[in-house]
Structure 1
Amino acid sequence: MVPQHQPRSPVKRATLTQIAAEIGVSAKTVSNAYRHPDQLSPALRERIFEAAIRLGFAGPDPLASGFRRGSTNAIGFIYANPLSYAFNDEAAVALLAGISEIAEAEGFSLMLVPGTAAGERDPAGIGGAAVDGVIAYSIGSNDPVLAYTRRRGVPLVIIDQPVIAEVPHVGIDDEGAAFAAAAHLRELGHRRIAVISFAIEPRTESRTWSLAEWPDTPYTVTDRRLSGYARALRDHVLLDRIPVVASWGSNERLGYAATQGVLARTPGPTALLCLSDSLALGALAAAQDAGLRVPEDISIVGFDDIPSGRASHPTLTTITQSHGDKGRAAAGMLFGQLRGERVDSARTLPASLVVRDSTAPPPR
């Protein structure tokens, strides 16, 4: 029997007046910290936000300013990357298409609440957003926007990460899927393997660890995929000889740069495990620019099964999952909450290895 999420009672909100009294300013000044931040000094804004957190205040209630009917007919989508990520990352595009399909059927619009390239987050973005519910996509467990969303008390569903017991969640078995990817290389006979990863630590440009040990991370997906690789390979190779190069994001440029560093090692790897197809496509370009043949000289495995990976030369061996189904499942769970229904506490969608042309036995 699938555990179900119980409908929640609305969270009791602190008021602008209470925040204002706490730090000795007017209620209008507190409101401006959220709605017109350019009118206040950074120091004053910080004092207001600190008092708001202390009193459990998550920003002005948008329903009280022009939405007297009790619903905005909009849902929010929060994610850690810059705004453009929602339009140029193929996995994110498919995910948002799935969410939008359900939102349209419900007569709702969708508000994007992005992060920034620098990894900075302003919790006021969601605190003042006029939305009835929120879908959070692949953000760190320590992201302040997530904390503000939960304090605000609106219905919430999380896709991928983090995993929080009392919040409905949609994802895949990331560790199991990563195990299958690494086991494929193991069975082909590869021993010199490197990992091209997205973020392990927030706001870190690029760092290298090993598959034997990496730091505690607020990113559940990263941790589970690395754990799956390690579990598949630990009896086959020494994990401390497998470098894990982690960058702050997931795109071809970062995959290219990380792979250049890995290929400079002596001896170089005969296979790369990439935590996303975008990183893998960058790795593919870097390998080919270095004069290596894929898969004759080096094999590459991705994760996601985006359209570009199916059209690359060679086509990309990867983990397939349906991002559209993830979006539809999350949106369905969110609208179930908005209707006051009990919804599943978690949905685990299928993912599996697809072997294409980018992998082969290591060169002799």
Structure 2
Amino acid sequence: MTPPNRRITIKDLAARLAVSTATVSNAFNRPDQLSPALRDRILGEARAVGYLGPDARGRSLRTGRSRIIAVVLADSLTYSLNDAVASEFLAGVAEVLDAHGHTLLLLPSRGGLRLESASMADGFIVYGLLPDPEMHQQLPSQRPLMSVDFDLAGQASVHIDNHAACLTIARHALRHRPSRPAIINLRSTLEPCNGRVIDQPLLSESQTITRVRLTGFHEALSEHHFVPDEVPMWNIEENTFDVCAPVIAEILDLPDDERPDLLLCMSDRIALTVLTLAEQRGLRIPEDLRITGFDGIAEGQYRAPRLTTVRQDSVEKGRVAASMILGLTPRESRLLKTELIVGETAP
């Protein structure tokens, strides 16, 4: 019997269950190593006697590993969890980590990294372009590091084929030749700009995926005999309704002979905001205005008219990144395919 005032240990629990301490440890940290019935029996007994699991600090000191993987977020924690694409990506990462007994640590980079938290992680997935391009150098150099949706020199990365995706959807949209096509970018300017892009310098393709998307749009426009530099562009600084709405209202409130009749949008959130505000103004979709998005989020497919968009599998992107950082698959750069979804906003 364990004395009532002493904290129960892994050895105590193993003795009660007549199993090894390694088996108890696996129940908490490597569930794939046990049968579901055995793991349930161990966890049930642990709850009954008040055992909370192996001491992570002690295990880290013994093994040099914490079994924690950090995802370094380019945006705030609130934004990342509310954003459909980012939350799906994190779900994919968490799925793989759960299956292999690892914990997910989220590190938002806006305002600086919490280096005391970062020091605990066994590896790092950097998701999206950081506010400071050199910020990743603050992370422990001896730990594995990889990037998602942008490139870090000398490191593996996971991307979707943004250029091919935007070329494909723009070619589709331009089959019904518009009179006044336009583009709504997402964070594509060197300096913050929430509005019409006139002379603002753009980020390079190595700095942001949205610049790669713009290249795809421009290639399709050239094929259809438009001069890309003469096609008007607007830029959105944050992929939320509240930030998108003022810019889109400015576009939709242009005189009839200036208002675009095709908007190529760099995200579904932008496209859905266009759709909502256009309907409020009595514009007919797609007769008066054709709209395309990018991402394939569920909201765009559940409402009517259904959004024409590019679907990227953000959950699979998370699975691939997590598998690579854990060493389950080779740590080498991957380019994932996308799917054109033709809806009613640009049939």
CA distance in 1, matches of 2:142, 2:285: 50
What corresponds to 1:224 in structure 2? Answer: 212
Corresponding residue number in structure 2 for 1:302: 293
CA distance in 2, matches of 1:101, 1:180: 31
CA distance in 1, matches of 2:74, 2:299: 23
Which of 1 and 2 has higher RCO (CA within 8 Å, sep 6+)?
1
CA drift at 1:274? 0.9
Q: 1:259: which partner in 2?
A: 248
2:137 is the alignment partner of 1:147: yes
Residue deviations 1:148-201 (CA, integer Å, cap 9, x gap): 23x53311121111x234211111110110111111121121241121121124
Contact persistence 1:82–1:115 (CA under 8 A): yes
Instruction: State the alpha-carbon separation in 2 of the partners of residues 205 and 126 from structure 1.
Output: 34
Alignment of 1:73-112 (within 5 A): 73-112=67-106
| 1:22 counterpart residue number | none
Cα deviation, residue 126, structure 1: 7.0
| Structure 1 residue aligned with 2:267 | 276
Q: Would you say 1:328 and 2:325 are equivalent positions? A: no
Q: What residue in structure 2 maps to residue 57 of structure 1? A: none
Given that 1:319 and 1:354 are in contact with CA atoms closer than 8 Å, whether structure 2 keeps it comes out as yes
1:68, distance to aligned residue in structure 2 (A): 1.3
Amino acid at match of 2:330: V
Distance change >3 Å, CA 105–CA 300, structure 1 → 2: same
Letter in 2 for 1:155: P
State the match for 2:147 in structure 1. 158
Aligned-partner Cα distance in 1 for 2:178–2:129: 33
1:253, CA displacement in angstroms?
2.5
Contact 1:196–1:272 under 8 Å retained in 2: yes
Render the CA deviation track for 1:226-250: whole Å, top value 9, x for unaligned.
Answer: 0000011024222233222112221
Query: Root-mean-square deviation (CA), in Å?
Result: 2.5
**In terms of Rg, which structure is larger?**
2
- Tell me the SS of whatever aligns to 2:270: helix
Q: Kindly tell me the number of residue pairs found equivalent between the two proteins.
A: 287
Q: How does 1:18-29 map to 2 (within 5 A)?
A: none
Do residues 243 (structure 1) and 232 (structure 2) align?
yes
Aligned residue for 1:123?
113
Deviations 1:100-153 (A, max 9, x none): 01101111111111144xxxx31344774421101111114843432323x533
Instruction: Judge conservation of contact 1:76–1:111 (CA < 8 Å) in 2.
Output: yes
The structure-2 alpha-carbon separation of the partners of 1:78 and 1:269, relative to structure 1 and needing over 3 Å to count, comes to: same
SS in 2 for 1:281: helix
TM-score relative to the length of structure 1: 0.72
Distance 1:65 1:271, change over 3 A: farther
Q: 2:190·2:201 contact (CA, 8 Å) conserved in 1?
A: no
1:197-237 CA distances to partner (integer Å, 9 max, x unpaired)? 21124661514326x99523463201100000001102422
Provide the residue aligned with 1:174 in structure 2. 162
1:355 matched to 2:342: yes
Q: Which runs of 5+ in 2 are unaligned?
A: 1-55
Q: Contact conserved, 1:72 with 1:132, CA < 8 A, in 2?
A: yes
1:346 aligned partner:
333
Partner of 1:114: 108
In the superposition, relative to structure 1, how do residues 357 and 250 fare at CA in structure 2: closer, same or farther (>3 Å)?
same
Change (3 A) 1:252 1:129: farther
Consecutive unaligned residues in structure 1, runs of 5 or more: 1-62
**Alignment deviations for residues 17-43 of structure 1 (CA, whole Å, 9 cap, x no partner):** xxxxxxxxxxxxxxxxxxxxxxxxxxx
Matched-pair identity in % = 29
Cα 1:214–1:317 change in 2 (3 A) is farther
Partner of 1:134: 124
- State the TM-score, normalized to the length of structure 2: 0.76
What SS does the corresponding residue of 1:136 show, helix, strand or coil? strand
- The alpha carbon displacement at 1:79 in A equals 1.4
**Aligned 8 A contact 2:238 2:244 in 1:** no
Cα distance in 2 for partners of 1:321, 1:276 equals 11
Other structure's SS at 2:147 match: strand
246-255 vs 172-181, which deviates more? 246-255
Query: Counterparts of 1:222 and 1:107 in 2: how far apart (Å)?
Result: 35
SS in 2 for 1:152: coil
